[in-house]
Amino acid sequence: MSTTTTEPAAALTRIPPHDLDAEQAVIGTLLLAGTPHNASYRYFAETLETGITPADYYRPSHATIHRTVCALRQAGEPIDVRTVTEALTRSGDLTRVGGPSYLVTCVQAVPTAAHGPAYAEIVRAKAYRREAIEAATRILEYAYSGEGDENDVRDLIDQELTAIIAGMPGLEAAPPTVGDLYLDFIADLEDVQEGRKVGTTYGFADLDTLTSGMQPGNVTVIAAQSGVGKSTLALNAAVAAAKAGTPVMFSSLEMSANELMQKIASAEGKIALHHMTHQGALTPEGWEKARQLGAELFRTLPLRVYRPDGAALGDIASAARACVRQGGLGVLVVDYLQLIDVENSRNTTREQAIAAVSRGIKNLSVQLDCHVIALSQLNDDGLMRESRAIKNDASVVIKVHRPDAEDKESPRAGEVDLIVEKNRFGPAASVTVAAQLHYSRFHDMTQV
């Protein structure tokens, strides 16, 4: 007696659910309504707010166009057939998506941009059905395989069904009301007032008092002219935060990992920096201090040093996410903004490029729930380059001013003003600290 086995693939040879007309209409809406101040721009935003992503499209060319539109939006550029055509040309994808004529075809497929959100919901619904089919196929194939036992099968079913139910398309639930938030607000207020909730320390008492320390999801910009010591200040803050138990990543586009280690050792061991960088200059006492730092500080300090191979923000973001997975991340230092490259920046002004980097760093602080210290270069007039976008995205802006950097005979030699120009958590004010740059460190004026 023989039994007939039905292969799972036999029932799944039909064309997966999709609606190419709706996909064209979504792309057409994004191209037609993507310019701010355009009367139909609201439909562009509402279409994206449905949650539609490139992965929801059945036709790969539509996914490519959608990604390009989103990249232009993130860079703050206008979106229309011409700008998207240029971006696709730069990326080498224009021919693969059907050329400029296909973009025009998509625009012509839209009766009105007001229907864009509805078309997006249709596309997402079809994508959801495809995901359900794929999940069911994985369950069928595993069940037919004979692998594992009934517990393994049940676990797979549970994982797949949980994932597919969680991914059900539709607009997100409305945000909570203030009434829903009130109890959490009161609990947080009590924690702040009773000292149970404090930000991560910068390592300077007066600065911590003024700003309430470093808060997750926020950005501090430290700005200074070249040679004043902004990298040293940021590294001091990073070490102070790490010594307080906060996981930190210091990403430098200027200094090597070894140079950063020299600076940390100099500051923490009070070893003259120039003694470590010149042959035979390190004294026996200096050697002993350097060796002690290994056991007493470096082996347990939750501080990671990262020197990207390139200069793209994506590289820094990837390393930061790896830190989150491997022990967490509370503070990220980026040294410095003007050295970061921007993708597809050939036709982008320098101000637009820095604005994109600044916005990307702000988004990263929110996504990773960490505080970012971003360094910025000041020009000879003491103004922050591309300052408007950087200041807008920052919660705290600190300018570093050393009187003796401009006047060697200054009576304030050895003093440094941390000028807090913007402070979302308190008033704007100036904090004075002391500089010991031969030890690569700044410290409170009252510190011995």
pLDDT at 389: 75
CATH topology of domain 1-173: DNAb Helicase; Chain A (1.10.860)
- What is the CATH code of the structural domain delimited by 205-444? 3.40.50.300
Q: Is the pLDDT of residue 2 over 50?
A: no
Q: What is the mean pLDDT of the chain?
A: 84
pLDDT at 185: 86
Sort 161 into a burial class: Cβ within 10 Å, 0-12 / 13-18 / 19+: middle
The residues near 382 (Cβ < 8 Å, ≥ 6 apart) are 225, 399
Q: How confident is the model at residue 167 (pLDDT cuts 50, 70, 90)?
A: low
Q: Which of 93-102, 106-115, 190-199, 270-279 shows the lowest per-residue confidence on average (mean pLDDT)?
A: 190-199
- Contact call for residues 303 and 248 (beta carbons, < 8 A): yes
Bridge partners of 378, per DSSP, are 384
pLDDT at 419: 93
Q: How confident is the model at residue 367 (pLDDT cuts 50, 70, 90)?
A: confident
User: What mean pLDDT comes out for the span 71-90?
Assistant: 89
Q: Is the pLDDT of residue 25 over 50?
A: yes
pLDDT at 62: 96
pLDDT at 350: 73
Q: Is the pLDDT of residue 6 over 60?
A: no
Q: Where are the domains of the chain?
A: 1-173, 205-444
Choice between 414 and 342, residue whose per-residue pLDDT is larger = 414
Q: Is the pLDDT of residue 99 over 50?
A: yes
The full 3-state SS of the chain, as one line of letters, equals CCCCCCCHHHHHCCCCCCCHHHHHHHHHHHHHCCCCCCCCHHHHHHHHHCCCCHHHCCCHHHHHHHHHHHHHHHCCCCCCHHHHHHHHHHHCCHHHHCHHHHHHHHHHCCCCHHHHHHHHHHHHHHHHHHHHHHHHHHHHHHHHHCCCCHHHHHHHHHHHHHHHHHCCCCCCCCCCCHHHHHHHHHHHHHHHHCCCCCCECCCCHHHHHHHCCECCCCEEEEEECCCCCHHHHHHHHHHHHHHCCCCEEEEECCCCHHHHHHHHHHHHHCCCHHHHCCCCCCCHHHHHHHHHHHHHHHCCCCEEEECCCCCEHHHHHHHHHHHHHCCCCCEEEEECHHHCECCCCCCCCHHHHHHHHHHHHHHHHHHCCCEEEEEEEECCCCCECCHHHHHHHCCEEEEEECHHHHCCCCCCCCEEEEEEEEECCCCCEEEEEEEEHHHCEEEECCCC
* CA 74 from centre of chain: 13
Choice between 368 and 163, residue whose per-residue pLDDT is larger = 368
User: What mean pLDDT comes out for the span 82-88?
Assistant: 93
Choice between 224 and 173, residue whose per-residue pLDDT is larger = 224
pLDDT at 168: 59
User: What mean pLDDT comes out for the span 32-44?
Assistant: 79
User: Over the stretch 404-440, which tens digit does the pLDDT of each residue have?
Assistant: 877 788 888 888 999 999 999 889 999 999 988 888 8
Q: Token pair for residue 339?
A: 């050295």
Q: Which of 13-17, 140-144, 322-326, 345-349 shows the lowest per-residue confidence on average (mean pLDDT)?
A: 345-349
pLDDT at 174: 66
User: Over the stretch 310-336, which tens digit does the pLDDT of each residue have?
Assistant: 677 878 888 888 888 888 899 999 987
Q: How confident is the model at residue 221 (pLDDT cuts 50, 70, 90)?
A: very high
User: What mean pLDDT comes out for the span 198-204?
Assistant: 89
Q: Which of 47-56, 116-125, 156-165, 190-199 shows the lowest per-residue confidence on average (mean pLDDT)?
A: 156-165
User: What mean pLDDT comes out for the span 116-142?
Assistant: 90
pLDDT at 384: 60
